[in-house]
Amino acid sequence: DIQMTQSPSSLSASVGDRVTITCRASQSIDNYLNWYQQKPGKAPKLLIYAASNLQSGVPSRFSGSGSGADFTLTIGSLQPEDFATYYCQQSYSTPHTFGQGTNLEIK
Amino acid sequence: EVHLVESGGGLVQPGGSLRLSCAASGFTFSSYVMSWVRQAPGKGLECVSVISASGGHTYYADSVKGRFTISRDNSKSTLYLQMNSLRVEDTAIYYCTKIKQKLVLHDGSDIWGQGTMVTVSS
């Protein structure tokens, strides 16, 4: 299975900050990379698909980039509702493995 | 509106079996790849199984291969996960998900159910 590694595992930031989360695959996955946001007690929500495509209804402060094995999720200006856990996922091969998650906390 | 509703979770002893169901509505179920993703308490996400739109192709994580079986009934718009030989480490919330694009395997999950809790304990 393809291994996905996110960094950092946790991150403290303030409202208005710009933050970047990285995700690295154990092999090239072209652009088959997705990002999710999960809040406590809720199901994950798709934010970005195919590395850089914004899912319908997701604010434009979220953006994704990368291809091959290295990817980033950027939140342009943190809002209070953005504090959550973020996961990357590869959909290049089955099973569609996830990164271990990045917990974004309020500083 | 698009909905996925899981059922069938509960408490089971190690070695036991459970069958999860996921009822879909609001979209043409037979046109989409579906998956089961689980999350152990306080842990991250794990994709355990994926099934093609027709049901003819199935995929499993190594952790469940040979013990879990994914299936679907397109006439009932329902996804299933038969779980046998359950282990303590299978304890998790199990989510049913819809893959975003029609007939495409290599895509993200745009719709998730609310999840059903499976607890394996003696």
* Higher per-residue pLDDT: A85 or B106: A85
**Residue A107 confidence (pLDDT):** 87
- Interchain contact, A46 vs B59, CB within 8 Å: no
**Nearest CA of chain B to the CA of A43: how many Å?**
6
Q: Name which of A49, A87, A98 is nearest B107 (Cβ-Cβ).
A: A49
Give the pLDDT mean for A49-64.
Answer: 97
Residue numbers of A between 63 and 92 with CB closer than 8 Å to B: 87, 89, 91-92
**Residue B112 confidence (pLDDT):** 98
Give the pLDDT mean for A24-33.
Answer: 97
pLDDT by residue (tens digit) across B91-101?
999 999 999 98
DSSP string, B23-45: EEESS-GGGS-EEEEEE-TTS-E
Those residues of chain B that have pLDDT short of 50 are none
Q: Name which of A91, A92, A101 is nearest B44 (Cβ-Cβ).
A: A101
Q: How far apart are CA B46 and CA B23, in angstroms?
A: 21
